Chains A and B, each alone.
Chain A
Amino acid sequence: MELLYAITLGVLTTCGIYLLLRARTFTVILGLTLLSHAVNLYLFASGRLVAGGPAIIGLTERSADPLPQALVLTAIVIGFAMTAFVVVLALKAAVELRNDHVDGENPDEDRA
């Protein structure tokens, strides 16, 4: 399970960073979303991966750590709100600047 988890994290982070470095806002937002997924999974894993372990001590032999779950919940809520905000901001910028480039201007404008 650890190997699969690690590979998933790696793929998500790589894709996220690749998309983050693109020039248009839509792909950048997708990249941010993937990166925040990766981060949430990573935070979750920081309490160690336990299968079938409830977050209460004493019920079973191995119990899961509840704190990372709470942290992830907070991070998901914040990340979700931020993504919503950045989508709205990108739309606003696209309307006002008449293009969807992150820098607010199309570098190929003069060539076309």
Chain B
Amino acid sequence: MNHALILPILLPLVTGAGQLLFYQAPFALQRLLGFASTFWLLLLGIWCLQIAGTGEHILYHAGDWPAPFGIVLVLDRLSAIMLALTAVLGVCCLLYASNGSDKRGAHFHALFQFQLAGLNGAFLTGDLFNLFVFFEILLIASYALLLHGGGRARSRAGLHYVIINLTGSALFLIALGTLYGLTGTLNMADLALRVADAPPQDVPLLAAASLILLVVFGIKAAILPLLFWLPRAYSAASAPIAALFAIMTKVGIYAILRVFLLVFALGEEPIGETAWGWLWPLALLTLALGGVGVLGSDSLRTLTAYLVILSVGTLLATISFATEASLGAALFYLIHSTGMAAVFFLLADLLGQQREEGYDRFSATGPIGHRWLLGSLFFIAAIAMIGLPPFSGFVSKAWILQASAQEPQGLWLWGVLLAAALLTLIAVSRTGSSWFWRPGDMANPYPLERGPLTLVAIMVGLNGLLAVFGDPVVGYLELTAQQLLDPHAYIAAVLPDASAAAQEISP
């Protein structure tokens, strides 16, 4: 058993606790600790990518209790990708926050570490109740981070965000209670086996539990009827926090993948079918609403929040085909869209600070300082975000379209996806022309901070690199999709005895 596997959870947790305990220590030290932990997480993420790349499921039995009695952490390719993505995003957000916005509220760095611990835990755990606990950890941290900096808009958005997530947690527990009551286990692999041979009278209740779980993950991921908290919350959060929240909706998508491709996927008539049936139309509607919202937003941060919704719709619509090609394409798009949403939240702050009036609101028409430099950056970032070559958005969208072309319903996705992309193009070019082109030069521009500017440029550059070195990434993601569609391998890794017995019984 490799004890390093628990480090992605333990390291930020201990760091965060230390930062809370010694909050009187100099701020520079707190910041340094936060950076040290996050960089270690990045290294751990790369290490995870490497060891998960062999295709094995790497297990960590907490307290050495054997599954399904104890809690297991399971690292497979999908978890490794999410861990690495979180770490990269964490480093970028922390770097951006260290330009001074981390001083605007108490305990920023400790909360940031708790957030990372919750995210990493959610990606690693192989137990449904443990998933709930890590959801709560990341949510508690996110409630406080959302309010970081204070102000009326944040309190208002925070109240909505907290209440809807508390309701979601209550629903999560109801689903867990139902599942435990019917199967007597909460280990995902064990659940998958027991759900598959559940007696017929239990099937409706299990289906109900699966749909409640869909609602819970739908709240986290922001699927159509459950997404109205998102634009206000994301646009109220301070820039580095909003950028980190770009991964939060992806936690919901990760949970959907995990639960509906593993727990409810087995058996002759998989119970997850009902949920998949709901997911497809809702995802398309989410995608369409995201496009309309992008066009109708009144500030760059709201626009970015709707871009997040758009990306969730695209992802879930692609995932709901559940083929190898579509899952691979969706994962590529997940990496791309998380990065670009973060870039746009940071960009909104960067540009807003240079504008003479209105911060990031579209109604303000004042000039902007350094317009050539910032304008070029915005132009390149916009190209990357919309999905034009040579950036990874183009690769991912081309792959999604290619994968969905083989499906009978794929044409729907083609239509909605391309229409939404057109709406985004219009909205972003309107922003560009009204901010950089029309107002002319500013007489006395505000001083430009080089650090954040370089950081955002590097993040856009990373997106370009993802396209340039796309081939190994695509290969890795294809293998990830294969692994995801083979739940038996996961179960065999977690429960070697039970799955051997099950295979003996069913010839």
Contact = CB atoms under 8 A, between A and B. Distances in A.
Q: Do A and B bind each other?
A: yes
Interface of A: 20, 25, 28, 32, 35-36, 39-40, 42-43, 45-48, 65, 67-68, 71, 74-75, 78-79, 81-82, 85-86, 89-90, 92-93, 96-97, 102-104
Interface string B33-59: 000000000000000000000000000
B156 A93 contact: yes
Nearest to A28: B163
B140 A82 contact: yes
A97 B129 contact: no
B155 A89 contact: yes
B143 A85 contact: yes
B453 interface: no
B261 interface: no
Contact of B162 (A74, A86, A96): A86
A10 to B, nearest CB: 13
Contacts of B136: 78, 82
Given A39-B170, A78-B133, A78-B136, A102 B159 contact: yes
A46 B178 contact: yes
Contact of B156 (A36, A43, A74, A97): A97
B147 interface: yes
A90 B143 CA distance: 13
Interface string B141-168: 0010001000110011011101100110
B180 interface: yes
B140 A39 contact: no
A45 B160 CA distance: 31
B155 A104 contact: yes
A6 B184 CA distance: 20
Contacts of B180: 43, 46-47, 67-68, 71
B7 interface: no
B155 A43 contact: no
A82 B173 contact: no
20 contacts: A20-B163, A25-B159, A32-B167, A40-B173, A42-B173, A45-B181, A46-B180, A46-B181, A67-B180, A78-B133, A82-B140, A82-B169, A85-B143, A86-B162, A89-B159, A92-B155, A93-B159, A96-B155, A97-B152, A104-B159
Contacts of A85: 140, 143, 162
10 cross-chain pairs, A with B, having the tightest CB-CB distances, nearest first: A46-B181, A104-B156, A46-B177, A93-B155, A43-B177, A39-B173, A46-B180, A39-B170, A42-B177, A96-B155
A75 B163 CA distance: 16
A86 B160 CA distance: 10
B346 interface: no
B170 A89 contact: no
B176 interface: yes
Given A42-B177, A71-B180, 7 more contacts: A35-B170, A39-B170, A39-B174, A46-B181, A86-B163, A97-B156, A104-B155
Chain B interface extent, by class: 20 to 34
Nearest to A104: B156
By CB atoms of chain A within 10 A, which of B140, B156, B170 has the most? Answer: B170
Nearest to A70: B129
A104 B133 CA distance: 30
A23 to B, nearest CB: 12
Contacts of A45: 177, 181
B129 A71 contact: yes
Interface in B347-401: none
By CB atoms of chain B within 10 A, which of A85, A89, A90, A103 has the most? Answer: A89
A90 B176 CA distance: 29
B362 to A, nearest CB: 22
Contacts of B147: 89, 92
Nearest to A81: B140
Given A35-B167, A97-B156, A102-B160, A74 B174 contact: no
B156 A32 contact: no
Nearest to A35: B170
A78 B129 contact: no
A36 to B, nearest CB: 6
Given A71-B129, A78-B169, A102 B177 contact: no
Contacts of B162: 82, 85-86, 89
A2 B180 CA distance: 18
Nearest to A92: B155
B71 to A, nearest CB: 11
Contacts of A48: 181
A68 B156 CA distance: 36
Contacts of A40: 173
Nearest to B159: A93
Nearest to B163: A28
B143 A89 contact: yes
Contacts of B181: 45-48
